[in-house]
Amino acid sequence: MPSLSSIAWAVVIAIGEPEAPSDASPSVASPLERVFDPEAPLAGHAPLDDAGAPDEPATSLPNTGVAPLHRSDELATPAPAAAPLEAGAARPTEDPRPSAWVAAPLRAAELPAEPPTDLKRLHMVRLDLLVGPVWRLSKTETLITTSVEVGRVHGFSGALHASVIVAPDRDFVAVVDIPVGVGVIARMRMGDSGLYGSVGLSAGILVHRAESQPTFSEFGLEEGPRTVFHRVDPDFRIPIRFAWSVGAAGFSLALIQGFNVRARSYERRGVTVWERSAYRIGLVLGVHSDIILGRARRLRSARRRRGKS
Amino acid sequence: MSLALFGCDEVIDLDPIDVSIPVESSVRPPPITGGTLVVLDNATAVAADPDRDVIHVVDLAFAEVLHTIALEPGDQPGRVVVSDSGLVHVVLRGYGGLATIDVDAGAVLSRTWLCTEPRGVAFNPDDATLHVACADGWLHQLDEDGASLGSTQLEPDLRDVMIVNGVVMASLFRKAAIVGVDGSRIELPPFGDHIPHVAWRTWVRPSGTIVMLHQLASTEPVPIEPDPEDIEVDGGTPYGGGGDPCTSGITGAAITTIFDGRTDTVPVSQSRLTVDAAASPSGEWIALAVPGAAAEEGTIRFQSTEFFECDPGARPDGDDGQVTAVAYSASGQLVAQSREPATITVFTDEPWGTRKVIKLNGEPRFDTGHEIFHRATSSGLSCASCHPEGTDDGHVWTFETLGDRRTQPLDVGLGDTAPFHWDGDMTDLTMIMDEVLSHRMGGDRQSSLRQASFQRWLFAQQRPPAGGDHEEPSQVSAGAQLFASYDCGRCHDGPALGGTITENVRGVRLQVPTLRRVSLHAPYMHDGRSGTLEAAIQDMVESTRGVTAPQADIDAIAAYLRTL
């Protein structure tokens, strides 16, 4: 049974920029696209009329693509039809396009919603720190883990992790395991909320450090000095993670399964006094912070892109 | 660091490992027998030195060595006694006899061969005779010139000789009993769940009280491995006797006084291998020679004669070497003999006072194998605790999951008897050292170099055949033929007459023991169920051939085996 004493709680460190927007977060779009793609909702416009305005994005990701309300005026001047003005030339008095093509200025209530951000193309860096118990079959230890993930908000990311596993039973030998590894993370948004789920696979090494306690005779004489043992094992992890972001930071809950190939035990006078399985399952809770590195193009279907051409 | 490429388990042993460079003496010292010192009335100490085969004569008042009397190599001088004439008589264990020394002249006057393994000697002032006890059970009576005055057969395994109210008595080493030439016998009663055994030293006080320094052995089941609940960081567990000073381990030292038919046994708290004892003239103190203690712990210990069970005693500060013998002078000075370094230490007052150290002559005899064998582990046990004098304690231990197992002797040429232990489960000495010395007894693991050195020392401790000096040659010859005709040699084969194979006997697979010195190692069988050699022979004939052998055949085979 896991011991409650081995459960450590989160230390929150929030760094970096706000988290990347969700698919409801608009990116900057050209006015013409909005004009000739009437089915696409316009996101990011503040509703002039609450009843008729599209819903605000449910996500907490930053609305970097939100256009100001006066953009509707800009839409009245379609860019593709505009000829460059020569110096000194007089401004054309008539619109060369057919009148039907000329868009009348839209009222705010009539603006379509902003198209969703293509999360598969939105890059980010996520930093996290999580703490929790890790079960190594017969024993429960404390796991502190941190990682850096670089990649898509929705899609694959590369990940680098480093952890510390501290064994609570330190009477005979004080053990600290340090798994370090790299791997890939597949992340996807779960529903319309800001909850993301991810699963990963990483490989690396687990550095095992153990320091034996000195032994004494019954007269208090030190007979056996402290001895430090080091071992390095291959290590594999499969983290399953749920992350919920609020602004730039968020909370993460992860189930981290690990396998470091080699089970290990320590004996004193032929009796096993410390042992661990090669398998481990950790349940950690902590915080993360996301840094958005670039803006993704909005999500458009292939059919629509074909229609445009 | 090591990188594991494949799935595997790794077990790391936390027991400390001793990697110090082994030292082997030019002449490897024999196991400690203890009690090799006597102090004459003129403040002269005579110390037998079995490690160097010399006799040291030391003037205690002037702290100088008067004589260093060389003996023959391998003589192994032991017990010393002084006669009324002032001559000193020394038992020569290796030679098998008695040497008479003129301490004033520093010369050996005579050497008398007596038996294969003489042990104790006493001088009877009533008739000016010497009595020498031999391991084969014969008690020899001599005059001071070495002339034989007769022999008496008592029991095998005689040790010290005492003159108690005019009666010659001798202690039995393994049984810790006392037998007299008049047929008397004194058995020490059990002490709780321990029984007395291994009588290291027995002497008689002027009051007629017999004092015996012996060991107590547990009759309770002994765990093969320490209970995990008992494992402590410092390694001490009840298995070895460490920890609680009021809790006896499986074996430890004790002192029993016997007077007027009454016995009083008091165990020595937190004892180590203790091989000699002496009572102060005032009767208030008993000094103990504890060569099994670590040098830092001190190998001299003083117990008040009023001591109680949990009394840890007193230890003088300072390093007195590895003390193997103690004796009091008439004035109450304690004299202690250290085997390595070879010194005589005089404590000026009772119980100890100031210390005066006298260096003795001779080469160093520090030896790693000897050290490993005798020094106590963290649990208080040493190899010599159960293998005193490098042989066995004769005790039948009850091991959990294994059952009864008699301690096996080590002085039989152990190198010819692998695999080891009654089950034959210990393929070599390395395995025994890891399993028994380290795991069970709580000792340090030894580096491969030290293990090899220990093995060389131990395998060299083979003692000569028991001899059977008193057996009829024709009986011995007949016994040898019967031994062959009963096909005993089918299992008791090879240079050690056994010891190398495991056979199924009565449905139990057990190692066939060697027959070397078998007559000196009662009781017999793995569980000690045969108390005499004749009973053991009959048991084996019935077990292996399914018949009962005639008593004449048994006697003849026993006569033959006593020569081995």
Confidence at residue A26, expressed as pLDDT on a 0 to 100 scale: 38
Confidence at residue A111, expressed as pLDDT on a 0 to 100 scale: 57
**b/e for B12-51, b at 16 or more Cβ within 10 A?**
bebbbebeeebeebeebbbbbbbbbbbbbeebbbbbbbbb
CATH number corresponding to B32-119+141-151: 2.40.10.480
Which parts of chain A register pLDDT below 50? 1-93, 95, 100-103, 106, 219, 308-309
- On chain A, the residues whose CB falls within 8 A of the CB of B6 are 261
Mean pLDDT, chain B, as a whole number? 91
Query: Cβ–Cβ of B234/A229 closer than 8 Å?
Result: no
At A62, phi and psi to the nearest 5?
-65, 140
Suggest the residue from A137, A171, A209, A218 to mutate for an interface test with chain B (most B CBs closer than 10 A).
Answer: A218
What are the beta bridge partners of residue B303?
Answer: B286
* Annotated domain spans of chain B: 32-119+141-151, 393-437+461-561
Amino acid, res. A31: P
Question: Which member of B16, B226, B380 has the closest CB to residue A223?
Answer: B16
Nearest Cα residue to A144 out of A6, A274, A243, A15: A6
Calculate how close chain B gets to A260, using CA atoms only, in Å: 9
Rounded distance, CA A44 to CA A57, Å? Answer: 8
Confidence at residue A268, expressed as pLDDT on a 0 to 100 scale: 84
Please report how the helices B533-545 and B551-561 are oriented relative to each other, as an axis angle in degrees rounded to 10. Answer: 120
Q: Using alpha carbons, list the distances in angstroms from residue A97 to A34, A37, A78, A86, A106.
A: 17, 18, 10, 19, 18
Nearest Cα residue to B24 out of B366, B384, B340, B361: B366
Confidence at residue A92, expressed as pLDDT on a 0 to 100 scale: 47
* Residue B62 CB neighbour total at 10 angstroms: 10
For residue A211, the chain B residue with the least C-alpha distance is: B14
Confidence at residue A81, expressed as pLDDT on a 0 to 100 scale: 42
Query: Cβ–Cβ of B378/A217 closer than 8 Å?
Result: yes
The first and second tokens of residue A30, run together, are 């050209």
Rounded distance, CA A62 to CA A247, Å? Answer: 7
Q: What is the mean pLDDT of residues B523-542?
A: 95
Nearest Cα residue to B152 out of B165, B170, B166, B164: B170
What are the beta bridge partners of residue B492?
Answer: none
Calculate how close chain A gets to B216, using CA atoms only, in Å: 20
- pLDDT tens readout for residues A187-219: 998 887 789 999 999 999 999 999 987 765 554
Query: Cβ–Cβ of B4/A219 closer than 8 Å?
Result: no
Q: Give the burial class of B193: count Cβ atoms within 10 A of its Cβ; 0-12 exposed, 13-18 middle, 19 or more buried.
A: exposed
Rounded distance, CA A232 to CA A230, Å? Answer: 7
Up-side HSE of residue A195: CA atoms within 13 Å toward CB?
Answer: 8
The first and second tokens of residue B407, run together, are 């301690």
- pLDDT tens readout for residues B181-196: 999 999 999 998 899 9
Question: Which member of B16, B227, B297 has the closest CB to residue A215?
Answer: B16
Confidence at residue B325, expressed as pLDDT on a 0 to 100 scale: 98
Q: Is the CB of residue B240 less than 8 Å away from at least one CB of chain A?
A: no
- On chain A, the residues whose CB falls within 8 A of the CB of B435 are 270
For residue A265, the chain B residue with the least C-alpha distance is: B11
Find where tokens 């000699």 sit: B276
Question: Which member of A215, A218, A233 has the closest CB to residue B233?
Answer: A215
Find where tokens 């040699």 sit: B489
- On chain A, the residues whose CB falls within 8 A of the CB of B233 are 171-172, 213-216, 268
Confidence at residue A309, expressed as pLDDT on a 0 to 100 scale: 42
Q: Is the CB of residue B550 less than 8 Å away from at least one CB of chain A?
A: no
Confidence at residue A113, expressed as pLDDT on a 0 to 100 scale: 61
- Check residues B459 and A49 and name the one with the higher pLDDT: B459
Query: Cβ–Cβ of A231/B233 closer than 8 Å?
Result: no
Q: Is the CB of residue B21 less than 8 Å away from at least one CB of chain A?
A: no
Banded pLDDT at B232 (limits 50, 70, 90): low
Rounded distance, CA B297 to CA B293, Å? Answer: 6
Give the 3-state secondary structure percentages of chain A, helix then strand then coil, rounded to 5: 10, 45, 45
Give the 3-state secondary structure percentages of chain B, helix then strand then coil, rounded to 5: 15, 35, 50
Rounded distance, CA A19 to CA A246, Å? Answer: 8
Rounded distance, CA B296 to CA B291, Å? Answer: 12
Q: Is the CB of residue B242 less than 8 Å away from at least one CB of chain A?
A: yes
Homologous superfamily, domain B393-437+461-561: Cytochrome c-like domain (1.10.760.10)
For residue B241, the chain A residue with the least C-alpha distance is: A218
Rounded distance, CA B390 to CA B292, Å? Answer: 13
Banded pLDDT at B439 (limits 50, 70, 90): confident
Q: What is the mean pLDDT of residues B42-64?
A: 96
Residues of A with CB under 8 A from a CB of B: 171-173, 210, 212-219, 221, 223-225, 227, 229-234, 261-273, 278
